[in-house]
Amino acid sequence: MRNVYVDFGEDSLIGPVQPTGNTIYFDGVSYKDGFINYGHKCRFLWSEDKDYGYKIFINNTPMNIPPTEEQVRLVFTIQKLLFENGFSPEPYEVIRCEDKLREYFVIKMDNIKGKVPMDGGVEWAERLKKYCRENKIFSQFKNLDIIRWDGQYPRDLDPFHFGLDKNGDIHPDSTNCILSEKDNKIYLVDVDIKFRIG
């Protein structure tokens, strides 16, 4: 396993809201502004000239500690299964990185460039849900984590945490699913630390 240095700059590593103009240094490359996607459980680093990016798993609330290698390898395994069946970007490797305080784990994966799908999401989501049920893949997304766009809890609307609205379609504010500009397919890009199998 590769081991690289990371410097998160002014990033507090808690939640998706971060300081404007922050720079993250990862493996000798600096990422800033629109090339850092901030999420609740990870940071995704990417660049215009590469077809891949890096998902860094950060401090997992409420414990405020990063996920273990074993937990990140489970996410990698689930994402690999979803990729092999056309639902998710391809994961390439797990990388260990560290700053001056602790270690973090990263998945190098395909970077799907595109937009939130406005059509065809219901059928795609139904196929993905069916595949996940058949293969015992689920999300442990808790009601306390976040409230969805229409005020309902995610488990009520979206037991797999795909970013669906009350009609079962992909919500326009979701960043969990992307319609690829390369092949016009929808991908679940946010397979996160809450996913389980079995």
Ordered by start, the domain boundaries in the chain are 3-110, 114-197
Residue 143's pLDDT band (cuts 50, 70, 90): very low
Percent of the chain at pLDDT above 90?
41
The per-residue pLDDT of the chain, averaged, comes to 82
Look at residue 148 in the predicted model and tell me its pLDDT. 42
CA distance 13 to 5: 16
Whole-number Cα distances in Å, 104 to 57, 59, 81, 167: 6, 9, 23, 37
Q: How many CB atoms lie within 10 A of CB 173?
A: 10
Residue 162's pLDDT band (cuts 50, 70, 90): low
186: three-class secondary structure by DSSP? strand
Per the document, the length of the chain is 198
Is the pLDDT assigned to residue 84 strictly greater than 60?
yes
Asked whether the beta carbons of 172 and 156 are under 8 A apart, the reply is no
What are the backbone angles phi and psi of residue 13, rounded to the nearest 5°? 65, 20
93: three-class secondary structure by DSSP? strand
According to DSSP, residue 168 is labeled S
Query: pLDDT, tens digit, for every residue of 101-140?
Result: 889 999 999 999 998 776 667 788 888 888 988 998 887 7
What average pLDDT score do residues 37-66 get? 86
